[in-house]
Amino acid sequence: MLRRRLNRLCGGDEERVDSRTIYVGHRPCPDTEAFIPSKFCDNRIVSSKYTVWNFLPKNLFEQFRRIANFYFLIIFLVQVIVDTPTSPVTSGLPLFFVITVTAIKQGYEDWLRHKADKEVNKYPVTVLEDGRSVKKESEKIKVGDVVEVVEDETFPCDLILLQSSREDGTCFVTTASLDGESNHKTHYTVPDIEKDLQTLTSAIECEQPQPDLYKFVGRMHIYKLEQEPVVRSLGPENLLLKGATLKNTKKIYGVSVYTGMETKMALNYQGKSQKRSAVEKSINAFLLVYLSILISKAVVCTTLKYVWQSKEGQDEPWYNQKTQKEKDTNMYLKMFTDFLSFMVLFNFIIPVSMYVTVEMQKFLGSFFITWDKDFFDPEIQEGALVNTSDLNEELGQVEYVFTDKTGTLTQNNMEFIECCIDGFQYRYRDTQSEVDGFTVTDGPVNKLQQKAGWEKEELFLRALCLCHTVQVKEAGSEVLVDQVDGIDGLLGFIASSPDEIALVKGAMKYGFTFLGLESKSMKIKNRQNDIEEYKLLHVLNFDPVRRRMSVIVQTKSGETLLFCKGADSSIFPRVRPEEVDRIRMHVERNATEGYRTLCVAYKQLSAEEYAMADTGLREARLALQDREEKLMAMYNQVEMGMSLIGATAVEDRLQEEAAETMEALQGAGMKVWVLTGDKMETAKSTCYACRLFQRGTELLELTVRTLEDEKLNRDQKLHELLQEYHNKAVKDAPPVKAGVTRSWSTANQDYGFIIDGATLSLLMNPPHDADASQYKSLFLQICQNCTAVLCCRMAPLQKAQIVKMVKNSQGSPITLSIGDGANDVSMILEAHVGIGIKGKEGRQAVRNSDYAIPKLKHLKKLLLAHGHLYYVRIAHLVQYFFYKNLCFILPQFLYQFFCGYSQQPLYDAAYLTMYNICFTSMPILAYSLLEQHISIEILLHNAALYREIANNAMLRWRPFLYWTVLGIFQGLMFFFGVRFLFSNPALQDNGQVFGNWSYGTIVFTVLVFTVTLKLALDTRHWTWINHFVIWGSLAFYVFFSFFWGGIIWPFLKQQRLYFVFANVLSSVSAWLVIIILILLSLLPEILLVVLRKPRGHHSQQLSEDSSTDTNRWLRSLLSPTRI
Amino acid sequence: IMASSYGAKEEDGHHPGSAGLGGAAIRTKKPDNTAFKQQRLPAWQPILTAGTVLPAFFIIGLIFIPIGIGLYVTSNNIKEFELDYTGTDMSSPCFNCSQSWNSTNTCKCELFFSLDQPFESNVFMYYGLSNFYQNHRRYVKSRDDSQLNGDERSLKEPSKECEPYRTNENKPIAPCGAIANSMFNDTLDLFYIDPNGKKRPISLTKKGIAWWTDKHVKFRNPGGSNSNLTTVFKDTAKPVNWHKPVYELDVDIENNGFINEDFIVWMRTAALPTFRKLYRIIQKNNDMTPTLPRGNYSLAVTYNYPVRSFEGRKRMILSTISWMGGKNPFLGIAYITVGSICFFLGVVLLFIHHKYGNRNNSSDIAS
């Protein structure tokens, strides 16, 4: 919101304009009639929210926007304004505490941001001004300034690269701080720029700032003396982003185009949308219940008060006259203030401290994830990362797991396994001797098979060496090229995808080594150790829609060649059909073995063809509008009529313990869906390898292939198949409740469902709109009855679409997405819980995730142990808080019936204030951090335990009702137990009597002990901390009571509790009543604990006990109370 | 009582930093392997089962039932006599007094009663009021504790909480507030009528009826050591309903002014609208005769305190006291009940446990 406002501020009147014009070095250009310096915002980064002046009002405003805080503020104000039973301090102090702590925390965070901003804004930069280099503070850079950046410096704003110290007009950049990718990226200068930047006159036209890091469209008009102005297109490859770092390049000059808050970095700086957990929603629901209890209590009391008062002599007996002011007050106003007073008296039922405790629990609790050494991966030297602590408990509620395949289920550690050239298989074996290897002197490995022609082999290997975007990592200043062996030890490759490296390395094994790209010429060393040079003319980039990439190169001899590699489905239609058949067999076999296959094709371009392609591509690149579409069309046009030379197979190994993890997740009742961009066969084999599909699993396939039917069109066939599968999986399946039982019921037929992207989009947007919802529900129902679902050929957005569909389906199940790459970001953001894997495909997934773990195998512990425990802890925390405040306030409510509905508090103000803050807060906090009702080992070992807490089991209405009934029961006990005792208030052995404060103190003592001991009964895991806080709280209560009653407090008007506690304790009767009331209140609880089985055996026994067993009957009767 | 397994998990004692030389140089993000951070703190994991809690039920039963019986017997042995002298009945001697309340005239009435049993040991005399809301909020807060604690400033300038009993005729009221203003001011005198019809007054002690701490710390007369209370309270007004000012409550300087015990007792507001307050103590005789022997008595009431307007009742209560206080069968009954319930539950649980528990146990072992 802030950013948008800033945008409006900075953008000013430009908003209507689609593009902005920047004059390099603020020099006016010839063909612009008047040089109007446009107003852009300065280069100051403001990430801080507050200033010293507006901190207080703004922070308070933001804090009181939270509904709970606002409620407490209202209560406080009522207490201040209206004559209420409790002093404003009782609710003001906790609120003040909460607000102050939050304000300090936010203030500190903002101070850090201020500091960081200052560091960035005051960073010295060099700006070229009138031929001189001027040192400036970064924040003073204006749009149009020419900025100098030296190696290892970060760019102070978004720059268009004008000049680089490297000869080829490139520079290298890492964007680690932007998207986490640490590889070097090459950026290019704009061609045709004069060497002397002082004389450069040019104007840049580019789009208005937008946050996409990888998109930039612009045009540069370069004016040269007595020449037609030259127009050059600008793309993301010319744009240096603020925040990126210059590498491997001594220095560059660039003109700033976006500054300050308009840089892409600043536009991307935005907190993710808040995800709310199911627990929070439950809390809010319970809150409403308690609010209505509160209001109805107040209404009942107000009504009864006026009924009572209507009786003669009750309202104002002679001994208790009203003040003149009270007498004068309007009756209805008095009723209203009475109502408010009752509200205030009972407001402790919704405690401020619950929010504090929940927040603290979440914040502190999340440390256990970061601290867990089981999540530490020695390879990357990192442990788990918690980006949000709001969702800890959601980890224990997951019903659907959406996982990416590559890099998540598999290692993304590619290894070249084999290739197929012209239909002949070549397999390289590491371990075997040179003779068997694919070497210069020897033939192909497989001697039984014929080998392809020599030329075909070389062509294929050249294609592998040329058709990629791999860079060679420069080892220091010298490039050691002439090393014969151990090249890959010295030469590191950098690429956006590990497949490419695997292919380049694969080619190297067969004798073709890629040496690097220098000023548009690619060098490769062939088998004869000769160096071949190719001029790189065009790169037709890879994208997931086309699923292929191409390069156009020119050989020394002047031939122009196009090499293309890509997925079989995207290559096969573009090559001659007769070539396909020979290779298809290999590709399919490789795919079923779980390898990733790519097909390689080439095409020779004639001079005319190339000229056409060249102009077409250039034109498309220059386009300001619809550049993407135009490029795409051009690519498709160029990549036609190729001839297939071969295919490669790259193995992507499964992650460690991938299968075990998947099995555990399924055992825990989660449904695992694999969403991948990979092809069906590969994905299917991965699923088999992960044991998501098993031998007995019947696969229901809904793909383009199964939709092909001679008689029916695709839409009809889709309908037919959906119906058929639905019958099979849903209707004929034994009537088990969906989602409750599954994988342990081995008797049932397991189904696996496979769908591909194309079919999915058909399903989501069928030709007839009317079918959409029907298809969707059929699809969902089928999926819900399947063990595992595989969605292959998915575009990133489709992944998110699926997650969204499941998320919004009936019962709104909790979804979890796990992935490692940029293509998973959308589904990570979409799911309730997003997990990033610190894999090899950059850090985007990690940045956007809620939790990040180094390996897939860690998911098991994260969900089964941490998630389960967090859920149980927080659920117990929430229920306990409501319970303890119910039995805290109920006696106070009941007391109104005995004090003429006069809002007389039962407890002293100190007790009212301290109850939630001091006496009962620490034990539950310790419990909610340390409790392990089942030990972690058992949780990990027995995945089925996860089902016990499925569907928010501990925060549903039944357990809530149980806790509420318990609270009411105990509240009644406390009050009436003491009430009967006080039928004769002479309770001391010297005949002296107790008053109302003794009454309240006895009730309060029973209350504090009972709720604390109730928690002690619930604690299954007594560490020394639990002992300390539980017994410590009780001791503190006793100590405090003595202390509070031990002194005549100098600044207090009332000394109500003076020696009350000590006197109470001097009475044997008081002791006896305290003991028996505590015991009686806890008796039902103890009884329930006894009647149910100890937890460890519980799950095993459930299935073993016969239904006639009384014990089981008892337990099932008590089952909601297991909480 | 609880079957417990001490699940102390071994900590392998490896701490980062203890690695030695290289420790400082390499800043690894490896999490500390401490028991706390790994959630492996040694813990006691109590498991409550039928087998372990059963004895507890029996023990509770066995302890509580005797205590309950003891309490019940004790309570029953306490002798208590109540006499309502409100005078609502036409027949009551105090009827006339209750009808007309006139602050100037003192109205006296005398009631006769007889005790069937002798009261041994110290006998405590209470007055009881019914339907008197001493715990009404407006009433409870209508006092100024610093004034009562002898604070000179509060004496001159009583707290606002005392309204409308704060000032009278521009003088601050001492003691201010509704509680003090409505202090119980009936005088009760007790006479023993010996068999030959002669009325013999029974000496009533008024010392020791208030809490020691109240009398000696919480309540203090202003003026410090100045024993002349008349001068101390010079510029103050008496509470409107009082007959005499606060410094004339008693002739005894130790029981006058704010530290008058009757006043202190009244100032401790009762918890419930029906309450009793200690009025006097009848010390036991030195000889072996009972404090109050069987026979006829008369209660002479100086009837000042009106209760008819709010339908209140006034009682005089004579009671002996045990270690548990006054007569109250509730505790005894409660203990007997809870003890019996525990015992009964113990039996039921034992039955269930015996009948079904064995099978479960065997299946536990099997599984």
Burial, A863: exposed, middle or buried (Cβ in 10 Å; 0-12, 13-18, 19+)?
Answer: buried
Which residue from B minimizes the CA distance to A1109?
B356
Spell out which residues of chain B touch residue A371, defining contact as CB-CB under 8 Å. Answer: 31-32, 37-38
3-state helix, strand, coil in chain B (%, to 5): 35, 20, 45
Mutation site, B122, B160, B275, B359, interface A, largest A CB count within 10 A: B275
Instruction: Look at B325 and A930 and tell me if their CB atoms are within 8 Å.
Output: no
CB atoms within 10 A of CB A39: 12
Touching B: A residues 453-482, CB under 8 Å: none
- A1093 close contact with B: CB closer than 8 A: yes
Give the minimum alpha-carbon distance from B197 to chain A in angstroms, rounded to a whole number.
31
Instruction: Look at B149 and A1055 and tell me if their CB atoms are within 8 Å.
Output: yes
Q: What is the pLDDT of residue B112?
A: 93
Give the minimum alpha-carbon distance from B111 to chain A in angstroms, rounded to a whole number.
24
Give the minimum alpha-carbon distance from A1087 to chain B in angstroms, rounded to a whole number.
9
Q: Which parts of chain A have pLDDT scores under 50?
A: 1-16, 180, 270-271, 430-449, 475-490, 736-747, 1094-1123
> Is-contact A337 A824, C-beta < 8 A?
no
- B2 close contact with A: CB closer than 8 A: no
Q: What is the rounded average pLDDT of the residues B223-235? A: 83
Q: What is the pLDDT of residue A488?
A: 41
What are the φ/ψ torsions at residue A554 (nearest 5 degrees)?
Answer: -120, 130
Mutation site, A82, A83, A319, interface B, largest B CB count within 10 A: A319
The backbone region for A416, taken as left when phi is positive above 0, alpha when psi lies in -120 to 50, beta otherwise, is: beta
Which residue from A minimizes the CA distance to B182?
A319
Q: What is the pLDDT of residue A489?
A: 42
Helix (H, G, I), strand (E, B) or coil at A584: helix
Q: What is the pLDDT of residue A34?
A: 55
R_g (Cα) of chain B, nearest Å: 32
R_g (Cα) of chain A, nearest Å: 37
Which residue from B minimizes the CA distance to A83?
B138
Q: How far is CA A963 from CA A439, A923, A956, A1085, in A?
A: 76, 18, 11, 11
Closest by CA position to B301, among listed B110, B84, B141, B89: B110
Give the minimum alpha-carbon distance from A1064 to chain B in angstroms, rounded to a whole number.
11
> What digits encode the pLDDT tens for the residues A33-82?
555 666 788 888 777 778 888 888 988 888 887 777 888 888 888 888 88
Q: State the binding site of A for ATP.
A: 404-406, 500, 542, 565, 596, 676-678, 793, 799, 823-824
Instruction: Give the pairing type, strands A181-188 and A158-164.
Output: unpaired
User: Apex CA A488: angle with CA A487 and CA A489, to 5°?
Assistant: 90
Separation CA B329–CA B76 (nearest Å): 7
Spell out which residues of chain B touch residue A990, defining contact as CB-CB under 8 Å. Answer: 208, 321
Q: Which residue is it, tokens 């507890």?
A: B56
Touching B: A residues 1063-1092, CB under 8 Å: 1063, 1067-1069, 1072-1073, 1076, 1079-1080, 1083, 1086-1087, 1089-1091
**A630 CB-near residues (< 8 Å, 6+ apart):** A619, A620, A623
Closest by CA position to B294, among listed B108, B81, B29: B81
Supply A846's token pair: 């990690």
Give the minimum alpha-carbon distance from A895 to chain B in angstroms, rounded to a whole number.
9
Q: Please report the ipTM that was assigned to this predicted complex.
A: 0.91
> What digits encode the pLDDT tens for the residues B320-344?
999 989 999 999 999 999 999 999 9
CA-based end-to-end distance of chain A: 42
Separation CA B58–CA A935 (nearest Å): 32
Supply A215's token pair: 């998109």
Closest by CA position to A505, among listed A411, A599, A595, A415: A415
Nearest by CB to A986, from B45, B47, B325: name it.
B325
Burial, A764: exposed, middle or buried (Cβ in 10 Å; 0-12, 13-18, 19+)?
Answer: middle
Q: At what angle do helices A352-365 and A88-121 cross, to 10 degrees?
A: 40
Which residue from B minimizes the CA distance to A1023?
B43
> Is-contact A994 A1065, C-beta < 8 A?
no
Mutation site, B9, B101, B133, interface A, largest A CB count within 10 A: B133
Instruction: Look at A982 and B271 and tell me if their CB atoms are within 8 Å.
Output: yes
Set A110, A158, A338, A404: catalytic member? A404
DSSP B89-105: STTSTTHHHHH---SSS
Reported confidence tier of residue B113, pLDDT bands at 50, 70, 90 = very high
Share of chain B above pLDDT 70, in %: 87
- B282 close contact with A: CB closer than 8 A: no
Separation CA A390–CA A850 (nearest Å): 9
Separation CA A320–CA A327 (nearest Å): 13
> What digits encode the pLDDT tens for the residues A329-344?
888 998 998 998 898 8
Q: What is the pLDDT of residue A412?
A: 67
- B213 close contact with A: CB closer than 8 A: yes
Annotation says A404 is catalytic: yes
What are the φ/ψ torsions at residue A386 (nearest 5 degrees)?
Answer: -110, 115
Q: Which H or E run includes A671?
A: strand A671-675
> What digits encode the pLDDT tens for the residues B266-298?
999 999 999 999 999 999 888 888 899 999 999
Residue type, A172: F
Instruction: Look at A323 and B309 and tell me if their CB atoms are within 8 Å.
Output: no
CA B240 to chain centre: 29
